[in-house]
Chains A and B, each alone.
Chain A
Amino acid sequence: MYGMGILKGLGVTIRHFFESYAEDIRYSGRRYFGAKSDFSERQGIDTRGVYTVQYPEEKIAVPERFRFVPFLVVNDADHPEAPGEDWCTSCGICSKVCPPQCIWIVRGEDPVTKRPIPQPEAFYIDTDICMNCGYCAEFCPFDAIKMDHDYELASYDRTTYHIHDKARLSKPFSYWMSIAPTTANEEARDRGSWEHSDVVKEKKKAGGAAVAYTPTESPAEVLALLKANAPKPEPEPEAAAASTAVASPVAGEAPAAEAADGEKAARLAKREAALARKRAAKEQSGE
């Protein structure tokens, strides 16, 4: 019969209508006041009908691997040994592998000897150009650059806000753990430690051991682990005061200098001295 096809189609429409509303009524209260898992159920694979999310009041949770403009991992401000220290060694791999070439790095150098030291002097990402491909994070050998989940970057003036410098890029390790616990665990497992791979190497050379990897999803637990295993810190009053700023390194001697003798230790001491000189120079210049 002519028109049957249309009627059948309208049947589909009306079923969609009822399904959407039945589901919404079933979830309505719980959506706003219930446990968080209710919302996840509503977004799940076995729901029927159409649902919408009322952005910005509601936001869909992004999965762990979600990638947006990258950030740099630094130690937490209350890290027992090197608070605020960059994980980036300014090796330059991310800037080479970046397809649109939007990463600019000034490699750190010792103000006295002019030799490169493993810390970036400056680090910029032009977020207008970044295509969020994730290569920088994928190929960084030091797990130092990671893809962020913060997608709310709109601003009124691109010339002021859209080039992220090192201060803006730096985020503490605990933040990285909070957005991607699974990946952070996998990487720590591969490094064998919750610490930076260079620290692991140095401590080994110095005859000690870094804080071994134990699976956990809580950043606080990792910090506690680090603190428990840190060499007894000499109390330094300014250190506590200055530790609020995440990105600015705090003057505090790393413990490795007092380590065993031999060539390795000497090299280590040199590196530490260079880093310390650098920090001093920075402080003098009023940063």
Chain B
Amino acid sequence: MGRISSWDWEVGRKKVVDSLSPLQDHEWQEEPYVSPDGETLAAIVKVGDGEFSVRTNDEVWESTFEKLWFLRYSPDGRLTALCQQDMEWSLAIDGEPWGDFAEYVWETKFTRDGSSIAAMTKIDNKYSVALNGTPWETVYENANQYALSPDGKRTAAVVQVISLGQADVEGYKKGVFSVAVDGEPWDGRYVNLFTPTFSPDGARVAAQARLTSYDYTIAVDDRPWQKTFQQVWEPVFHPKGAGVAAPVRSGGKWGVALDGQFIWNPRYVQCLGLQYSASGEKLWGVVATGFGKFTVACDNVPWDATFPIVTDLVLSPDGSRAAALTSEYNRNFRIVVDGRVWPGTSDMAWPVVFSPDGANAAAVTEKGGRFHVLVNGKAYEQSFDRAFSPVFSEDGSKVLIRAIENNSCVRIVADVARF
């Protein structure tokens, strides 16, 4: 039994917070966040002059800070916010700062299970990544696009290892960037590196690499593929170790290469967001089969229907099913699951979530300011002032709805069968 099973799954409705109006003496209250289990609603509140804290249900953190922002729940339910005290920054977890304060801290990231938390850190004008409060020992004049390994044990970022004078274009072209893993830089120097990413076991790192101004490829553990391309996008590791795949552009068209060899011949106007199924047997991605004709492809076979925009490709846990959001240039959103469009359009939509067995799919949409929770294409009987992404029970038979209605926060457990 996992973490989710320990939540309250009794069918019914519960008011988590009666009134969301600011508590007494709070000058203001910022936008709300709801815990994964739906039992707590949190918001940054202003408690005094230059003094901020966090409200959780009808309580308030004991600690106060000069500044607070980026309030986010870790998947394991810990509540975090970037905080400033005496002009220095940290990450507050349930009100307590992690590790030492720094010149700046930002870009909080969590592992899927929430066991590890990371953030970018600046100390004495040098940059590194902090993992669970501890920054790298080696620091850099710049670091960005950092990644946290799926097991939460490692971090990597693009780092600048050679300084550049003003407008030193020749120096730049020789390569001043590297990838640092747990602070240790690769030996290679690159014109650019983008989006380092870890293998599922955290042992390897791949990144988009620009070898010369005109040659892009993927570098895996500092070894660029033999072949170069006009452009590349984010690489993904095969889950069982059978290589690294990435969208690549050649002759003005996009395809997919695995370890440098085409596995999807370049024939698309666009291709991005690759994801492997859990077994690695299937490879999914967003493709454009023509100008303004986007869809999802599995193993190089696009769905029949195309749309002006496709975003937020989500796979079922085993990767046999897929869902995505589509829109007409950010209007008339539709949810598409396995190539079939759910009925109705909305003004906004949030990514689909699958039940653990992959049998059911749910999503939140918004239309005319009202939020709807949909399961398998059918809307819950009631709409809300605001709803957060639903969560399925581990057996997939129930769905947790977290929402705001009439100035209160509610938690509803509904049978999936009733949809």
Partners in one complex: no
Partner-B contacts on A (CB < 8 A): none
Partner-A contacts on B (CB < 8 A): none
